[in-house]
Structure 1
């Protein structure tokens, strides 16, 4: 039985109370990926020639493939691809840059196994969105080929958290400055928060692939995200900015009960399929 539909206000109120929301009861195919701490998630819609390299959320200190399984399945359906979800090391036991190293290793692994980078799209939500950018910057520095595109869902792009929305959007989001500061302390463990690898807002972004940045106007992080979009565009990066009016942090993860979340994932799928068309579509008669 599908979960009941809720309004954005109902979902936000539930999250502020710290109560879990139900996920879809579907069971996608899940198998361990040999050689890296990751799982391949597939549905009946998945094509083997389109790979989403997924980095979960959880503030760099929590989260896993298991508790993002519904999101992974929905992404696989929307993009009509396979999802490789990485269970990277978590802070505070493994502070920055351990998670970045794990994400880069996963991308290297895909390439080593013969995956065409032009058929790969890294996707990350919240901390995972940050790690997509950190991984891409590390890959550029290592001389690795860029993937076809990348998708950032509510990423934390500025560990200084300087945007005014951190204060003014507290009522329209489900966490605030105190939680952000605790996350930063655990993840960076004293490392400089304006290091471009930790705060991609301050990075040289030239050479990045096309990006879809999806965020909600009600997020505490929206000012930093908007600044990142402008900075990336000024540096010549192709950026599609999908700002959903009134939505809070990571509303996409609650698609099982929130129609706006399901619609956002469908828009991600459209972007991915546009960047990585079905192989048959590019073949001659």
Structure 2
């Protein structure tokens, strides 16, 4: 289990939650150093490409990957911090587990680029791949936290624009309802490193006045029919646990083939902390198995 006591580790994580009083540059630098510290020390081979003049993608590869498999990865960071650079250890773990190349997207961040800029970048990245000899059936979008939200937003946009869909997607601790009004926000306040105040900041910075009920921002409010296979992971201690569970139930009612796993005692985005938590490594391994099974169909 966790090497420190659970409360000690949560306190450590809470101390690194970006402080809205600090400048954007300082907050991003501190968060980058923090995220890197708890990930695998392994680093993938990387190749940076320009998706647009203001948008880059990074190919990440480790020995043994199968070249015609691509995980389209969207990092976490509350829509305001985070990058490929501070998720490289995580990308290496995903690549090993799925035996797939990872294409990580450095989507634009709030507050400079609020909603819907990151969604526009997700669509641009998907179109980039499909226009560069990566067919949709060899792509699996995967994201953690805010990145998981972008995965769902991407699928809904592809469906609504009548574009070819990937065969499946993987969401780790996705933020599916940016109103953040479910009971678990209060009930799990002492079990997660996120806080209700942080959720309010995410909503204010990212939405910048957009209604949180907008289906492009909060996928739980969208019609979920005709989505591909979904694999969702949620920790029972997450502030947003009730939201994820409600989304999984709605997707099931809509006929979406869904595998929903609840990880007891885990907090938001625990999957990233592979050096500290065995359950993080287990969660990544299970996501990799799902990806391999999907690509092998």
Same fold flag (TM > 0.5)? yes
1:133-148 pair list within 5 angstroms: 133-148=152-167
Deviation of 1:40 after TM superposition, in Å, equals 0.4
> Which among 4, 22, 29 is matched to residue 45 of structure 2?
29
Counterpart position of 1:116: 135
Give the 5 Å matches for 1:175-186.
175-186=194-205
2:11 is equivalent to residue 13 of structure 1: yes
Q: Which residue of 1 aligns with 2:22?
A: none
Corresponding residue SS for 2:46: strand
Asked if 1:257 is matched to 2:273, the reply is no
**How high is the TM-score relative to the length of structure 2?**
0.89
> Matched residues in 2 for 1:158 and 1:30: separation?
33
Residues 32/93 of structure 1: CA separation in 2 closer, same or farther (3 Å cut): same
| TM-fit CA distance, 1:14 | 2.0
Deviation of 1:7 after TM superposition, in Å, equals 5.2
Secondary structure of residue in 2 paired with 1:35: strand
Match of 1:70 in 2: 89
Whether contact under 8 Å (1:167, 1:176) holds in the other structure is no
Query: Which consecutive unaligned segments of at least 5 residues does structure 1 have?
Result: none
Number of aligned residues: 274
C-alpha distance in 2 between matches for 1:172 and 1:208: 32
Deviation at 1:18, TM superposition (A): 2.6
Q: Distance in 2 between matches of 1:201 and 1:55?
A: 19
Q: Distance in 2 between matches of 1:119 and 1:7?
A: 40
Name which of structure 1's ranges 239-248 and 33-42 shifts more when overlaid on structure 2. Answer: 33-42
Give per-residue Cα distances to partners, 1:228-247, cap 9 Å, x unaligned. 00000100101100110000
1:144-183 equivalence runs, <5 A: 144-183=163-202
Paired with 2:154 and 2:144, the residues of 1 have a C-alpha distance of 14
**2:51 is the counterpart of 1:51:** no
| Residues 220-235 of structure 1: pairs in structure 2 closer than 5 A | 220-235=239-254
Deviates more, 1:134-143 or 1:166-175: 134-143
- Measured on the aligned residues, the alpha-carbon RMSD in Å equals 1.4
Say which SS state the counterpart of residue 268 (structure 1) adopts.
Answer: helix
Q: Is the CA contact (8 Å cut-off) linking 1:7 and 1:258 kept in structure 2?
A: no
- Superposition TM-score, scaled by structure 1 size: 0.93
* Aligned equivalent of 1:93, options 112, 131, 145: 112
Residue 205 of structure 1 is matched in structure 2 by: 224
Question: Gaps (5+ residues) in structure 2?
Answer: 18-33
